């Protein structure tokens, strides 16, 4: 029982940190630039597909990761230059409609290029197998790698956005754009760079999750909704809020999907426990968001980088 609880706790952290990689990019584009980018999930999907295509052809997981980062970063820059730049001063409805169109185009092109059959990838050999933590406890090595990587990127983003000149310019440009431009800062170029970085993080998250789930068209459509929930819980524009909210969502989601059915089976019939756990797990994250908004309507870390 202790081993099961420990493993599920680490799974919750791993889910939260993987979600943070996706949410961090969305925080940059939505929180600092004010753009509701529904196509962020499509970039996540593209990252997974690029990793799958390149790693299967070359046999190298690392080359696939590098290709996913480069491809999604370029796609982000092109998307910002061609479409998103025209949406900064438009209403949120225009942003939603325009980026939703990108989702439809991306899903259609992906299906045309790769087909409808999901792609299954193997975890690279040097990251497969269990990681022995104690004499009695072990954990999958790849999931432990995702946890360590998520923490490292969270620390790096916190330093960049809170303690560097670039981060200060991004934060200032999001609230006082004309003033920052008058001081000689190329705000349009800075925002293009930030959008490209956010897209790169989304593609990175998709590439990392690819060995753990099927790579298929539309795989980013649902998770981007979860990413927006994270942003609302953590506070718009807060990387720190996105980090802690991602962990909270990961824990709640894991409890609802894995732990709750295990507990319900102890005192209810299997059919009842299954139906009840499915109902609760599908709404638990949104109940968490509602509870947070009741206490803190602006989110947990609103206004803090």
CA 201 from centroid of its chain's CA atoms: 8
Query: pTM for the whole thing?
Result: 0.89
Note whether 65 and 204 are within 8 A (CB): yes
Percent of the chain with pLDDT over 90: 29
pLDDT of residue 272: 65
Residue 245: pLDDT above 80? yes
Confidence of residue 225 (pLDDT cuts 50, 70, 90): confident
pLDDT in tens, 159-209: 887 778 777 777 776 667 677 777 777 778 888 888 898 899 999 999 999
pLDDT of residue 207: 93
* Residue 21: per-residue pLDDT: 86
**pLDDT: is 127 or 258 the higher one?**
127
DSSP type of residue 282: H
Percentage of the chain exceeding pLDDT 70: 87
pLDDT in tens, 87-124: 887 888 889 899 999 999 999 999 999 988 999 998 98
| C-alpha to C-alpha distances, 53 to 18, 46, 196, 217, nearest whole angstrom | 21, 10, 22, 14
pLDDT in tens, 49-95: 999 999 999 989 999 999 999 999 999 999 999 888 888 878 888 89
Place 274 in a pLDDT band, splitting at 50, 70 and 90.
low
pLDDT, residue 208, reads 93
Signed CA dihedral, 129, 47, 105, 196: sign only: positive
Q: What does each C-alpha distance from 262 to 8, 138, 270 come to in angstroms?
A: 12, 21, 10
Residue 75: CB partners within 8 Å, gap ≥ 6? 43, 46, 199, 203
Mean of pLDDT over the chain: 84
Query: Is 113 within 8 Å of 209 (Cβ atoms)?
Result: no
Q: How confident is the model at residue 305 (pLDDT cuts 50, 70, 90)?
A: low
Q: Is the pLDDT of residue 275 over 70?
A: no
Closest of 301, 194, 192, 221 to residue 48, by C-alpha: 221
Q: Are 199 and 79 in contact (CB under 8 A)?
A: yes
b/e string for 255-269 if b means 16 or more Cβ within 10 A? Answer: bbbbbbbeebeeeee
Question: Residues 305, 238: contact at Cβ < 8 Å?
Answer: yes
- Using CB atoms within 10 Å of the CB of residue 290, give its burial: 0 to 12 exposed, 13 to 18 middle, 19+ buried: exposed
């Amino acid at each position: 029982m202790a081993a099961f609880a420990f493993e599920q706790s680490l799974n919750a952290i791993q889910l939260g940190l993987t979600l943070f990689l996706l949410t961090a990019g969305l925080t940059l584009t939505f929180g600092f630039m004010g753009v509701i980018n529904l196509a962020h999930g499509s970039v996540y999907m593209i990252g997974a597909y690029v990793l799958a295509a390149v790693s299967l052809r070359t046999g190298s997981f690392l080359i696939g990761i590098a290709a996913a980062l480069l491809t999604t970063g370029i796609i982000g820059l092109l998307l910002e230059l061609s479409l998103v730049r025209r949406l900064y001063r438009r209403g949120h409805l225009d942003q939603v409609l325009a980026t939703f169109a990108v989702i439809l185009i991306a899903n259609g092109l992906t299906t045309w290029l790769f087909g409808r059959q999901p792609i299954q990838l193997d975890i690279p050999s040097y990251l497969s197998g269990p990681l022995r933590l104690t004499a009695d406890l072990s954990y999958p090595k790849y999931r432990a790698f995702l946890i360590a990587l998520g923490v490292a990127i969270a620390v790096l983003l916190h330093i960049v956005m809170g303690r560097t000149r670039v981060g200060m310019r991004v934060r200032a440009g999001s609230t006082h754009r004309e003033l920052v431009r008058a001081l000689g800062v190329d705000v349009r170029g800075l925002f293009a760079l930030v959008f490209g970085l956010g897209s790169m993080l989304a593609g990175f998250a998709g590439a990392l999750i690819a060995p753990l789930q099927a790579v298929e068209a539309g795989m980013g459509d649902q998770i981007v909704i979860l990413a927006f929930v994270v942003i609302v819980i953590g506070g718009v524009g807060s990387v720190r809020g996105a980090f802690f909210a991602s962990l909270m969502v990961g824990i709640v989601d894991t409890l609802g999907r894995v732990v709750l059915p295990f507990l319900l089976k102890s005192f209810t019939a299997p059919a009842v426990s299954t139906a009840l756990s499915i109902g609760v797990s599908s709404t638990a994250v949104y109940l968490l968001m509602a509870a947070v908004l009741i206490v803190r309507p602006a989110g947990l870390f609103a206004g803090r980088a």
